[in-house]
A and B are shown apart, each in its own frame.
Chain A
Amino acid sequence: AQSVSQHNHHVILSEAASLELGCNYSYGGTVNLFWYVQYPGQHLQLLLKYFSGDPLVKGIKGFEAEFIKSKFSFNLRKPSVQWSDTAEYFCAVQGAQKLVFGQGTRLTINP
């Protein structure tokens, strides 16, 4: 069965700090990997995705993620966060059509 684990439940940073949110998954087959963001009061939006090819993927708003197959990880990074990045971030894994989300990480950026 697929499962996704996000290690950090709540991360608090100051503006301009660097960000890394952890995501590990378990699944035996081919997977697609996603990071979604949910800004306060809004629906989920796709930040970036990995299907194949270059394991370092770049998404919107300066986010990137690296797929490390040997570690079953897909960590999200951003070199310098902004106050507007305050949101909930969900890692998701898709195998055999089912999309499984992690519990989410709440990111709070202090100005």
Chain B
Amino acid sequence: GAGVSQSPSNKVTEKGKDVELRCDPISGHTALYWYRQRLGQGLEFLIYFQGNSAPDKSGLPSDRFSAERTGESVSTLTIQRTQQEDSAVYLCASSLDRPLVSNQPQHFGDGTRLSIL
């Protein structure tokens, strides 16, 4: 079966441009997470979607960042007016249900490496 799929795998863009990153979770996974990993740092939580509940956006670093998810399918992470500090690997993960309820680990995609020139 397919795992979590992210696209593009690499994105290079100029400062000030908008970018959109896509994540296809594992089919049937209700929970979806976005993380980012800057060079030399640990993963930072960005946003969490669980079914039809309101997303947990507490990790988004600024209002330039937004994410959408339609139902329990594809999610897109959008970064507007990109800055050089946005350069990072953006990772998406999905899990079957609420982690502390169903004890399902998160499955990660390969990530999108974003480079802002």
Query: Which A residues have a C-beta under 8 Å from some C-beta of B?
Result: 4, 30, 32, 34, 36, 42-44, 46, 49, 51-52, 90, 92, 94-104
Q: Which of B36-58 contact A (CB under 8 A)?
A: 41-43, 45, 48, 50, 56
Q: How large is the interface on B (under 10, 10 to 19, 20 to 34, 35 or more residues)?
A: 20 to 34
Q: Tell me the complex Cα distance, A46–B111, Å.
A: 15
Chain A interface secondary structure, helix, strand, loop or mixed?
A: strand
Q: Tell me the complex Cα distance, A83–B21, Å.
A: 35
Q: Are A101 and B110 in contact (CB under 8 A)?
A: no
Query: Which B residues have a C-beta under 8 Å from some C-beta of A?
Result: 31, 33, 35, 41-43, 45, 48, 50, 56, 59, 91, 93, 98-100, 103, 105-111
Which of B35, B100, B105 makes the CB contact (< 8 A) with A97? Answer: B100
Complex interface: chain A residues within 8 A of B111 (CB): 43
